[in-house]
Amino acid sequence: MAVTIKDVAKLANVAPSTVSRVIANNPRISEKTKQKVREAMDQLGYHPNFIARSLANQSTRVLGLVLPGSASTFSQNPFFPTVLRGLSEGAHEKQYALQMTTGQSEEEIFEGVVQMVQGGRVDGIILLYSKVEDKVMNYLKARSFPFVVVGKPYKYSEEITHVDNDNFRAAKEVTNYLLGLGHECIGFIGGNLNLVVTVERLLGYEKALRDAGHDLKDEYIIHEEFLREGGREAINELMQLGHPPTALVVADDLMALGVLNTLDEMDISVPEDISIISFNNVLLAEMSRPPLTSVDINIFNLGNEAAKSLIQKLENPNDPIKRIIIPHEIVKRASCSKREVDHKEETEA
Amino acid sequence: MAVTIKDVAKLANVAPSTVSRVIANNPRISEKTKQKVREAMDQLGYHPNFIARSLANQSTRVLGLVLPGSASTFSQNPFFPTVLRGLSEGAHEKQYALQMTTGQSEEEIFEGVVQMVQGGRVDGIILLYSKVEDKVMNYLKARSFPFVVVGKPYKYSEEITHVDNDNFRAAKEVTNYLLGLGHECIGFIGGNLNLVVTVERLLGYEKALRDAGHDLKDEYIIHEEFLREGGREAINELMQLGHPPTALVVADDLMALGVLNTLDEMDISVPEDISIISFNNVLLAEMSRPPLTSVDINIFNLGNEAAKSLIQKLENPNDPIKRIIIPHEIVKRASCSKREVDHKEETEA
DNA sequence: GTGAAAGCGCTAACAG
DNA sequence: CTGTTAGCGCTTTCAC
């Protein structure tokens, strides 16, 4: 059995409660006994037992993470290792530990969350995705269990602390950027429409086009999973069109990579024939050919702020609801170029 | 305050211990009282408190995960989301939860592990990397705290349960595959030599060449971080050689992607001018151009077996040490082709 | 400034 | 088959 507070107390000739106070650095303990106790702790190699402490305190100093269902390819996205690092650093700074749950089905995930929450395993929860009509979120909200979401909650977003990018604005910006390059036919390839982020990016794209006085063409908008095959089919359909787009807004780097390949197979070159801009700016964005112009959404900070704000909330229960917007930035690489007005149109003009 | 075992006991008119037994599904309780108790639990919405249970049992049913330092780009590898899924499923099946730690420096990671271990937060640990001379591993081993490693331990590999691929053999196989395609000048681009996996793959490569009667050329072997820039420099050096390789074994898909790009910039085509084979077969391997021939190491299973074997070990403390080898498989795509014997050599022969 | 004692919620002998 | 009791290791009143 490990060394306990009692062992320390005995060695230091004090009561267990005194040792406890020394651990908490209670100011009412004299420096002298503190010294004595600390020596005893060192000598015995004492480490406080978190479990016991949690039970006594009714608080675990553990944050629960909910990852999206493993079914979705989304979960294979290099996005996650990076949020995790951000989360981890944010949590460690304040001496919180991280526990995670995920599952194959929605039901499994939900069960996992219930275990964490009702089982008292965690003090708060961080949702690493935001879906339309999410059972988990509803549950947490109904119990008013402390949680924050990474992304924008589908509903009640003013009542839920969340950290997100302004995806709507970012999508508007990239679309405007493309418009500014002279493109008039701009397509959108998005991921799963159940994810709020997809919706936001789509809306931003549409807004930019409308503001610029362009019609929205349904044929230009394609939704698929964040996947290669998705990208492939989508792009095929698009390019069959009478008037295929000359630029594409793609909701995710990984998907853009798929698009890039299909285009290459079809002998369409980027950016000469078609420009592409995507989101997230993960490592592979700079490793693709051509390197992708991509919106850096600051994934690390997304995680980091999520951890911090949850902790803040835990230590300050009646803090107001917060919406934290992490800035984004378009990282220009080589996948976009000015629209070359083609011969036919030129003569028409 | 949440509903406790006592509340249930009161409502069901039994002793708390009886309720506890019902939870554990103790066979010595009559079906009748079990029914009664269960009803009371439902009625009150009772959920056992894991913390209290952990304290009483001296066991948390939590597995601790140690991720590699966030400093390394390795940690951005899409490898991780996939192991995590495997781990998670393995753990959930047996009702274990997952807690994770990581850090920026080796020291920080070490501290995190100590917290988990000495703080009694976890029952066992899974190391998600294997480094040469790892402080964490030494610590765990010295304390004989239950742990398994994903990868091959640098030392004492017969004394440590681990789940790994046979990377040595896999590397031999890919090298032989390349030899079989007629390549005689085969280079190796590896990652950080502190990682055991890099070493193993390098050794396998060397062995294959030696077995085939080829000399090892130091200039053909390059080590860099698993990174784009790494790939770029490495490939530049290689291709400057008088007799540049006609095939490359690359230790990681992500790195191979970088290599592919640099080659493209240099107007060297794959696989016509040079063949490339890499490891891991993550999603992007099939999305690169050309799609990469890559060794599928079955990442999901790596994680899954790791979780299972740790749990097995926890529930069966004097189980023997195990070495679990996850099978690999070369997935042939389009980055390798037969060596085209060039004109000059042909006339020379 | 420090000690004694109760209790966090659950489990596990030991009785009966 | 079920109840009683004593902890698990720590925190926290309440005394002194």
- Two tokens at B38? 């269960």
User: Whole-number mean pLDDT of chain B?
Assistant: 91
Q: Do the domain assignments include residue B334?
A: no
User: Do B44 and B128 fall into the same domain?
Assistant: no
Instruction: Name residues 19-58 of chain A with a Cβ under 7 Å from nucleic strand D.
Output: 20-21, 23-24, 48-49, 52-53, 55-57
- Tens-digit pLDDT profile for residues B21-61: 999 999 888 888 999 999 999 999 999 999 999 999 999 99
User: Do A171 and A287 fall into the same domain?
Assistant: yes
Q: Do the domain assignments include residue A346?
A: no
- Two tokens at B293? 């021939």
Asked if A223 and A188 touch (Cβ cutoff 8 Å), the reply is: no
- Tens-digit pLDDT profile for residues B59-108: 999 999 999 986 666 667 889 999 999 999 999 999 999 999 999 899 99
CB-based contact B119 A228, cutoff 8 Å: no
Alpha helix locations (H) across chain A? 5-12, 16-23, 31-44, 50-57, 79-93, 106-118, 135-143, 167-180, 196-211, 228-240, 253-265, 299-315, 343-348
Nucleotide nearest to A9 (CA to C1'): C3
User: Do B287 and B314 fall into the same domain?
Assistant: no
SS3 content of chain A, % helix, strand, coil (to 5): 45, 15, 40
Q: Do the domain assignments include residue A226?
A: yes
- Domain count of the fold of chain B: 3
Q: Do the domain assignments include residue B173?
A: yes
CB-based contact A258 B287, cutoff 8 Å: yes
User: Do B30 and B133 fall into the same domain?
Assistant: no
Q: Cβ contacts (< 8 Å) between B51 and chain A: which residues? A: 51, 54-55, 60, 119-121
Length of chain A: 349
Q: How far is CA A301 from CA A231, A278, A324, A328, B109, in A?
A: 28, 19, 11, 11, 20
Q: Which of A15, A7, A49 is nearest to A33 (CA)?
A: A15
User: Do A223 and A307 fall into the same domain?
Assistant: no
Q: In this structure, what CATH number is given to the domain that contains residue A247?
A: 3.40.50.2300
User: Do A303 and A160 fall into the same domain?
Assistant: yes
- Tens-digit pLDDT profile for residues B161-178: 999 999 999 999 999 999
Residue nearest to nucleotide D8 (CA to C1'): B56
Last residue of a domain, one of B42, B57, B72: B57
Q: In this structure, what CATH number is given to the domain that contains residue A46?
A: 1.10.260.40
Q: Which residue has the higher pLDDT, A235 or A114?
A: A114
Question: Between the CA of A211 and the C1' of D6, what is the distance in angstroms?
Answer: 74
User: Do A40 and A69 fall into the same domain?
Assistant: no
Asked if B185 and B344 touch (Cβ cutoff 8 Å), the reply is: no
Give percent above pLDDT 70 in chain A: 93
B1 C-beta less than 7 Å away from strand C:
yes
Q: Which residues of B33-44 are buried (b: 16+ CB within 10 A; e: fewer)?
A: bbebbbebbeeb
Q: Do the domain assignments include residue B345?
A: no
Q: Please tell me the distance from the alpha carbon of residue B110 to that of residue B99, in angstroms, as a whole number.
A: 15
Nucleotide nearest to B56 (CA to C1'): D8
Question: Between the CA of A100 and the C1' of C13, what is the distance in angstroms?
Answer: 35
- Residue of B49, B85, B114 with shortest CB distance to A120: B49
Q: Which residues of A166-178 are buried (b: 16+ CB within 10 A; e: fewer)?
A: bbbebbbbbbbbb
Which nucleotides of strand C lie under 7 Å from a protein CB?
Answer: 1-5, 7-13
pLDDT at A290 over 60: yes
Residue nearest to nucleotide C3 (CA to C1'): A15
In this prediction, residue B129 has a pLDDT band, given cuts at 50, 70 and 90, of very high
Query: If you measure CA to CA, which chain B residue comes closest to A123?
Result: B51
User: Do B218 and B192 fall into the same domain?
Assistant: yes
Q: Do the domain assignments include residue A336?
A: no
B32 C-beta less than 7 Å away from strand D:
yes
CB-based contact B92 A108, cutoff 8 Å: yes
Q: Do the domain assignments include residue B336?
A: no
User: Do B244 and B215 fall into the same domain?
Assistant: yes
User: Do B318 and B213 fall into the same domain?
Assistant: no
- Please state the pTM of the whole predicted model: 0.93
pLDDT at B345 over 80: no
Compute the Cα dihedral for B309, B313, B319, B323 and give only its sign.
positive
pLDDT at B139 over 50: yes
Helix (H) or strand (E) holding A63: strand A62-66
Q: Do the domain assignments include residue B343?
A: no
In this prediction, residue B289 has a pLDDT band, given cuts at 50, 70 and 90, of confident
Asked if B226 and B74 touch (Cβ cutoff 8 Å), the reply is: yes
Q: At a CB cut-off of 8 Å and minimum separation 6, what does A230 contact?
A: A191, A224, A255, A258
**Roughly how many angstroms between the first and final C-alpha of chain B, as a whole number?**
87
The parent domain of residue B9 ranges over 5-57
User: Do B23 and B40 fall into the same domain?
Assistant: yes
- Residue of B89, B92, B254 with shortest CB distance to A283: B254
User: Do A92 and A118 fall into the same domain?
Assistant: yes
Q: Cβ contacts (< 8 Å) between A144 and chain B: which residues? A: none
